[in-house]
Structure 1
Amino acid sequence: MKVALLLVIAYLLGSIPSGVWVGKLFFNKDIRQFGSNSTGTTNTFRVLGKKAGIAVLLMDILKGTLATCLPMIFSLSVNPLIFGVAAVLGHTFPVFAKFKGGKAVATSAGMILGYSPLFFVYSASIFVITLLVSSMVSVTSMVSAVLITLSTIILPFIWPAVLPHFDWLLTAIAAGLTVFIFIRHKENISRIKNGTENKVPFGLNKKKE
């Protein structure tokens, strides 16, 4: 019963529509009506600016981290990743925003942070390097997801200081999230093919003003 209740709480934590709330409270804007119509971090940066984007990024990461830490907080012998996944589902299909949410990247990062801070730093490094090379958040999200999934298999054998042991559930969840992230980015993939995908103003292929 306690596990079921905490899973619901994890989902509700993930369901907090950070971008929507920040936009409405501080900017009198519903970001779902602008840009890509997403409630996530990237669209918040695009529509509301850097400060709002950073705030929403941190909030979305925190949702995943807090949810993943629930079994540790309540002393439950359950793999914390299960609660992280509940938060990711909440972020993507939020009950507080008519089940239309973001693309799961930031909250998934928060899940990794709650599971293993060192692996989070490793994964964040992959994300930053890929973003600097591609200058596209969409490409970075998809490529990073693939590389992080492969890392869950390889790192325990070549760099156990970062990931001490192989966790089949971590690999399965990472693989599932990778597929999910690709599906959520299908419109971005079309724009990438057409050469019209949005770019950030930094990196090797930065947006030209």
Structure 2
Amino acid sequence: MPMIETSLMLLLLWAVMGYLLGSVPFGIVVARVMGLGNLREIGSGNIGATNVLRTGSKPAAAATLILDAGKGALALLLARHFAGEDAAQIAAFAAMVGHCFPVWLKFEGGKGVATFLGILIALAWPVGLAACLAWLIGAGLSRMSSMGGLLSAAASSILVVLMGYGTGYLLCVLLTVIIFWRHRANIARIRAGTEPKIGQKK
């Protein structure tokens, strides 16, 4: 088999593995394991940590945040270790797609911010930490998790270049597009002044 075909098959394999890893709905799993009910029937119905927090369980929200970030980081790190940087970024993008559009949930998944931040930390930890800081600033000033996510996503493409990790620029742009698309309803509510605050039941 020609080397080019082999390389393409390897990249496709990591894309599938990244998608499957990213599609694990940890928010739903954590909520059920901790006896918090069906997350789809709570708050916004979203599977992410912000909605888990609306159950009133901070430990469950923290666990969801860590697991959602971890699956994005793990997809990238595994692919990087076994197949190189191109596979790593493809696996990371696929993990993000898997989280936001999981086949198990009829392609209606989370907003992707935790997975996005986990990917950035694994891609280049200084960029990831700077993006986390941007999230803290945005969320802290507005008291809206969505604002933090949008700010960190918007900043990521600039940060990755300014901090000397330009090879991750396209990945950051693609992830940002997904986050803004998944937050389109939030953006509309922010503009209307009706976006829920952190910790507020929706």
TM-score bracket for this pair, using the shorter chain length? 0.7 to 0.9
Q: Does 1:26 align with 2:34?
A: yes
Alignment of 1:160-171 (within 5 A): 163-167=163-167, 170-171=168-169
Between 95-104 and 72-81, the greater mean CA deviation after superposition: 72-81
Alignment of 1:88-99 (within 5 A): 88-99=96-107
Between 143-152 and 5-14, the greater mean CA deviation after superposition: 143-152
Provide the C-alpha distance between the structure 2 equivalents of 1:193 and 1:58, rounded to a whole number of angstroms. 30
Q: C-alpha displacement at 1:3, in angstroms?
A: 3.1
Structure 1 pair 193–2 and aligned structure 2 pair: CA distance change class (3 A): closer
Identical columns (%): 35
> Which SS does the other structure have where 1:197 is aligned?
coil
> Which SS does the other structure have where 1:27 is aligned?
coil
Provide the C-alpha distance between the structure 2 equivalents of 1:145 and 1:77, rounded to a whole number of angstroms. 21
Letter of the 1:112 counterpart: L
Structure 1 pair 136–27 and aligned structure 2 pair: CA distance change class (3 A): same
Match of 2:171 among 170, 173, 194: 173
Q: Deviations over 1:1-30 (max 9, x none)?
A: 333222211111101000111112221511
Q: Deviations over 1:113-172 (max 9, x none)?
A: 11111211111111112221111111111122112222223x1xxxxxxx33422xx222
**Cross-structure match for 2:71:** 63
Provide the C-alpha distance between the structure 1 equivalents of 2:160 and 2:45, rounded to a whole number of angstroms. 32
> Which SS does the other structure have where 1:74 is aligned?
helix
**Cross-structure match for 2:144:** 136
**Cross-structure match for 1:197:** 195
> Which SS does the other structure have where 2:166 is aligned?
coil
Provide the C-alpha distance between the structure 1 equivalents of 2:170 and 2:118, rounded to a whole number of angstroms. 17
Structure 1 pair 79–4 and aligned structure 2 pair: CA distance change class (3 A): closer
Provide the C-alpha distance between the structure 1 equivalents of 2:48 and 2:18, rounded to a whole number of angstroms. 18
Q: C-alpha displacement at 1:90, in angstroms?
A: 0.6
> Which SS does the other structure have where 2:84 is aligned?
coil
**Cross-structure match for 2:6:** none
Letter of the 2:172 counterpart: A
**Cross-structure match for 1:35:** 43
Number of residues of Structure 1 aligned to a counterpart in Structure 2: 192
* Residue pair 1:61, 1:107 contacting (<8 A) in 2 also: yes
Provide the C-alpha distance between the structure 2 equivalents of 1:165 and 1:117, rounded to a whole number of angstroms. 10
Provide the C-alpha distance between the structure 2 equivalents of 1:77 and 1:85, rounded to a whole number of angstroms. 12
Structure 1: tracts of 5 or more residues without a match = 156-162, 202-206
Structure 2: tracts of 5 or more residues without a match = 1-8
- Regions of 4+ moved over 6 Å: none
Letter of the 1:166 counterpart: G
* Residue pair 1:14, 1:63 contacting (<8 A) in 2 also: yes
> Which SS does the other structure have where 1:35 is aligned?
coil
Q: C-alpha displacement at 1:91, in angstroms?
A: 0.4
Q: Does 1:72 align with 2:70?
A: no
Provide the C-alpha distance between the structure 2 equivalents of 1:58 and 1:92, rounded to a whole number of angstroms. 16
* Residue pair 1:6, 1:70 contacting (<8 A) in 2 also: no
CA RMSD for the aligned pairs?
1.9
